[in-house]
Amino acid sequence: MIGKLTGILAERNPPQIVVDCHGVGYEVDVPMSTFYNLPAAGERVSLLTHFVVREDAQILYGFGTAAERAAFRQLIKISGVGPRTALGVLSGMSVSELSQAITLQEAGRLVKIPGIGKKTAERLLLELKGKLGAEITLPAHAATDNQADILQALVALGYSDKEAAAALKALPQDVAVGEGIKLALRALAK
């Protein structure tokens, strides 16, 4: 019903904002990833939206990118995952991180998000496999299987996707997995 809002950002109260569109203030719930990228109050903002009508409420959800809204829509299709949980997932990790977790079937990364238990994480991995994870697999520079394995190992060791990707860039293209992990760990220790 309401697909996009463009107006003046009137209020910022995480995770809710108010967008003034020609005198009408729309309360919009946004994931933290969108919230952090919003302009200051009083400035112009444009958000893609998803409108949810329930028996007891009508709620408008806003997103800074089409990928966030698409991921949100995929998440709420899953049994047991409502809009609040989907918003929590997108607040806990970026769309690319979520896609990578799905592609690599890493339930442990999803369980770290508040409100996501082991069963819900496994259901997300199962139902989103091929729907969301296929869109963004591994970073473009992880061209070979060895590089993908090195990246996965670094993430499993607790490094963020950005840290692991940066360490991977510094490695030779044809490095063996074991040697690559050692070199990447040395680079990350500096």
pTM, 2 dp? 0.69
Share of the chain above pLDDT 90, in %: 43
Q: Report d(CA 6, CA 20) in Å as an integer.
A: 8
Over the stretch 95-128, which tens digit does the pLDDT of each residue have?
888 988 888 888 888 999 988 889 988 999 888 8
Give the mean pLDDT of the chain. 86
* Spatial separation of the C-alpha atoms in residues 126 and 79, rounded to whole Å: 12
26 three-class SS: strand
- Calculate the dihedral angle through the C-alpha atoms of 54, 22, 63, 52, rounding to the nearest 10 degrees: 10
Question: Which amino acid appears at position 61 of this protein?
Answer: Y
pLDDT digit string (tens) for 33-42? 899 999 999 9
Spatial distance between the Cα atoms of 93 and 97, rounded to a whole number of angstroms: 6
> What's the confidence (pLDDT) of residue 59?
95
User: For the segment 48-94, what is each residue's pLDDT rounded down to a tens digit?
Assistant: 999 999 999 999 999 999 989 999 999 999 988 999 999 999 999 98
CB 76 within 8 A of CB 86: yes
Say if CB 159 and CB 100 are below 8 A apart: no
